[in-house]
Amino acid sequence: MRQVERDVLQSNERAGQAFQLLDSMNISWGYITDNTAFWLPKQIARLGGKTPATADLAYYSFQRQLSKESKPIGLFDVAARVLEPSVTLLVEDREANIVRAGSIGFQLLPYSIYETTDLVEALETRLT
């Protein structure tokens, strides 16, 4: 099982530093994720155990019975009811999700752990 977890769970090695950057700038952050109830705690542990400060910044598909791709209403739509998309930066790797979130009005930082661009540098560039 541990080998399966290592193969399946992938996270950015600089995620902890990215969270520190956001915290140092007093920027609230959260998750909009299609992760499952089984994998999410393991993924969060890989990200240094950081969880959003408040429940209104946590959008988990298994809790809401919706995914990012759900139609006509998905996780991005639900988040947009609470968050202000025009001032909310979304870091996302899947093109379809980028298009959908952008159509709702979210600010976007397309990013994948498979890219060579450094996550912290990408955030610093976008936020400063």
Domain residue spans in the chain? 2-127
**What pTM did the predictor assign?**
0.84
> Measured between alpha carbons, how far is 27 from 50 in angstroms, rounded to an integer?
14
Average per-residue pLDDT in the chain?
Answer: 90
Contacts of 40 by beta carbon, 8 Å cutoff, 6+ apart: 33, 60, 62
Fold of 2-127: Rossmann fold (3.40.50)
Is pLDDT above 90 for 3?
no
The secondary structure of residue 67, as a DSSP letter, is -
Exposure on the CB side of residue 2, measured as CA atoms within 13 A? 0
Contacts of 89 by beta carbon, 8 Å cutoff, 6+ apart: 106, 107, 108, 109, 126, 127
Cis amide bond preceding 41, omega within 30: no
> Measured between alpha carbons, how far is 34 from 80 in angstroms, rounded to an integer?
16
24-76: per-residue pLDDT in tens? 999 999 999 998 888 888 888 888 888 888 889 999 999 999 999 999 999 99
For residue 51, the model assigns a pLDDT of: 87
